[in-house]
């Protein structure tokens, strides 16, 4: 049997046992009977998931001789939790408490059917509490930060981060605790390396060289964090792909969000203020979506597109930048429905005019930028 943690999404947060919270993960995992099963068959398969509070199995289908051959779902103590006979498809078993679930097939003396095919299971992960730092996450699961630190210096522990995530299928919930660095050296609040399907949420990060550093990663979700007073708020190193950075508050950074040679990411709903550059895309990245962010009071440029282009820049508010609202040095971007105003230089500074579609933006009150482009653009698309 092959266990593949290929799809381990956060399906839900459910309340169990009062204040204890659990995350539900899904694991691709095939368990099947012989097809057809023999007569006089009696076999039990055992599936174990460490740190599980409860498990349930998913039948793609089952077919047994109705009333004579049976599939039983058992818990770790061999209590029967469910019984199946006849046929069904796309069936979830009931939740079985514990870290073990068993499936047993029993047949009688005659008439053999297909049996069953299970393709995946779900489990509620028991939370793992992080009580001391630095902390290195190396196994899948649901981690809750249970401590705050102030002026933390990782070098005192021979390392350079407060939390490192080096495993796939991880949820790190900061629970609004603070990771505050000492503001000295190239130290990192949270590092996510060589991982897929990771969520970092509800963490307060201050005084780091980088608040959250990623790459190479995919399906990393950075959501609902407060990231203040770091050189880089979020730094996505090369090959941070298919990630989401959403609904974070990022303030007082040199670069609030910097995306290097990374593609297919969505940056949405972030509130960024007092960065030198609010959001910067550079290197060989492409096809990122920057949507519904607010970027205010940047020391220099609000949004810098220095990558390969083909990005979608939609619905952002970019105001009061020290230079231009947007600095576009890549092509084939779609720039639509943004409000770009009160910037010191241009609204949109187009260095590279290679098939950028600029449409229905509201560009006004920029000191240098209220040119023809600005005036047209409130109403119509322009391709440059
Ligand atoms: Ca039979
Ligand atoms: Ca500090």
The CATH number of residue 48's host domain is 2.60.120.290
Q: Are residues 216 and 153 in the same domain?
A: yes
Q: Are residues 119 and 144 in the same domain?
A: no
Q: Whole-model pTM?
A: 0.81
What is the reported pLDDT for 321?
96
Pair 13, 67: CB distance under 8 Å: no
Of 68, 101, 124, the residue at which a domain comes to its end is 124
Q: Which residues surround ligand 1, an ion (CB under 5 A)?
A: 65, 68-69, 107-108, 111
Q: Are residues 55 and 148 in the same domain?
A: no
Phi, psi for residue 227 in degrees, rounded to 5? -130, 105
Q: Are residues 372 and 252 in the same domain?
A: yes
What is the reported pLDDT for 13?
45
What is the reported pLDDT for 172?
97
| pLDDT tens by residue, 205-230 | 999 999 999 999 999 999 999 999 99
Q: Are residues 118 and 200 in the same domain?
A: no
Q: Are residues 152 and 120 in the same domain?
A: no
Residue 62 Cα to ligand 1 midpoint, Å, equals 14
| pLDDT tens by residue, 121-151 | 999 988 999 999 999 999 888 999 999 999 9
Of 71, 103, 124, the residue at which a domain comes to its end is 124
What lies within 8 Å, CB to CB, of 47 at 6+ separation is 1, 29, 31, 55, 57, 100, 101, 102, 103, 121
Pair 308, 330: CB distance under 8 Å: yes
What is the reported pLDDT for 377?
53
CA distance 244 to 269: 10
Residue with tokens 């046929």: 87
Ligand nearest to the CA of 113: 1
* Count of domains observed in the chain: 2
Largest Cα–Cα distance in the chain?
88
Residue 230 Cα to ligand 2 midpoint, Å, equals 10
Question: Residue 243 belongs to what domain range?
Answer: 127-383
Residue with tokens 């995350």: 23
In CATH, what number is assigned to the domain containing residue 308?
2.160.20.10
Q: Are residues 110 and 133 in the same domain?
A: no
What is the reported pLDDT for 17?
38
| Beta bridge partner(s), residue 311 | none
Q: What percent of the chain has pLDDT over 70?
A: 90
Residue 31 Cα to ligand 1 midpoint, Å, equals 20
Residue 377 Cα to ligand 2 midpoint, Å, equals 44
How many CB atoms neighbour CB 223 within 10 A?
Answer: 16
Ligand nearest to the CA of 109: 1
C-alpha pair distances (Å), 304 with each of 254, 313, 337? 13, 11, 17
Q: Are residues 113 and 161 in the same domain?
A: no
Residue 97 Cα to ligand 1 midpoint, Å, equals 30
DSSP state of 50: T
Residue 312 Cα to ligand 1 midpoint, Å, equals 59
What lies within 8 Å, CB to CB, of 189 at 6+ separation is 161, 162, 163, 179, 181, 203, 205, 208, 210, 211, 212, 230
Q: Are residues 348 and 217 in the same domain?
A: yes
Ligand nearest to the CA of 150: 2
C-alpha pair distances (Å), 366 with each of 3, 55, 316, 352, 353? 57, 58, 16, 20, 20
How many CB atoms neighbour CB 35 within 10 A?
Answer: 12
Q: Are residues 167 and 261 in the same domain?
A: yes
Residue 146 Cα to ligand 2 midpoint, Å, equals 19
Region for 99 from its dihedrals, namely left if φ exceeds 0, alpha if ψ lies in -120 to 50, beta otherwise: alpha
CA distance 314 to 352: 19
Q: Are residues 244 and 179 in the same domain?
A: yes
What is the reported pLDDT for 351?
77
Residue 87 Cα to ligand 2 midpoint, Å, equals 62
What is the reported pLDDT for 379?
44
Of 99, 124, 149, the residue at which a domain comes to its end is 124
Residue with tokens 């990393």: 220
Q: Are residues 93 and 228 in the same domain?
A: no
User: Which residues of the chain carry a pLDDT beneath 70?
Assistant: 1-22, 353, 369-384
Burial 161-173 (b: 16+ CB within 10 A, else e): bbbbbebbbbbbb
What is the reported pLDDT for 375?
46
CA distance 356 to 327: 12
Structure tokens at 351: 């260095």
């Amino acid at each position: 049997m092959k266990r593949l943690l290929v799809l381990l999404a956060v399906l839900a947060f459910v309340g169990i046992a009062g204040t204890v919270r659990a995350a539900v993960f899904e694991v691709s995992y095939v368990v099947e009977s012989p097809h057809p099963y023999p007569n006089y068959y009696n076999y039990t398969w055992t599936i174990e998931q460490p740190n599980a509070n409860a498990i349930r199995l998913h039948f793609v289908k089952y077919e047994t001789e109705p009333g004579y051959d049976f599939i039983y779902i058992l818990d770790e103590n061999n209590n029967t939790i469910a019984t199946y006979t006849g046929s069904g498809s796309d069936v979830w078993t009931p939740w079985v408490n514990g870290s073990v679930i068993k499936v047993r097939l029993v047949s009688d003396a005659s008439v053999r059917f297909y049996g069953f095919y299970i393709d995946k299971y779900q489990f509620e992960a028991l939370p793992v509490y992080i009580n001391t730092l630095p902390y290195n996450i190396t196994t899948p699961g649901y981690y809750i930060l249970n401590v705050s630190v102030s002026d933390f210096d990782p070098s005192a522990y021979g390392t350079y981060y407060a939390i490192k995530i080096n495993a796939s299928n991880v949820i790190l919930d900061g629970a609004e605790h603070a990771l505050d660095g000492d503001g000295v050296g190239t130290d990192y609040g949270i590092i996510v390396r060589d991982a897929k399907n990771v969520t970092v949420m509800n963490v307060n990060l201050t005084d780091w060289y980088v608040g959250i550093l990623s790459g190479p990663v995919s399906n990393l979700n950075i959501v609902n964090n407060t990231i203040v007073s770091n050189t880089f708020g979020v730094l996505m190193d090369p090959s941070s792909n298919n990630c989401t950075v959403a609904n974070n508050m990022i303030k007082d950074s040199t670069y609030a969000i910097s995306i290097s040679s990374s593609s297919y990411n969505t940056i949405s709903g972030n509130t960024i203020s007092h960065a030198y550059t609010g959001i910067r895309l550079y290197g060989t990245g492409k096809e990122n979506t920057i949507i519904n962010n607010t970027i205010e009071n940047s020391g220099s440029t609000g949004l810098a597109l220095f990558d390969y282009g083909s990005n979608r820049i939609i619905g952002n508010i970019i105001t009061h930048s020290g230079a231009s609202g947007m600095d576009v040095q890549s092509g084939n971007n779609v720039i639509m429905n943004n409000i770009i105003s009160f910037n010191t230089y241009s609204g949109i500074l187009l260095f590279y005019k290679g098939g950028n579609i600029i449409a229905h933006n509201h560009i006004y009150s920029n000191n240098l930028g209220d040119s023809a482009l600005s005036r047209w653009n409130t109403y119509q698309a322009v391709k440059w």
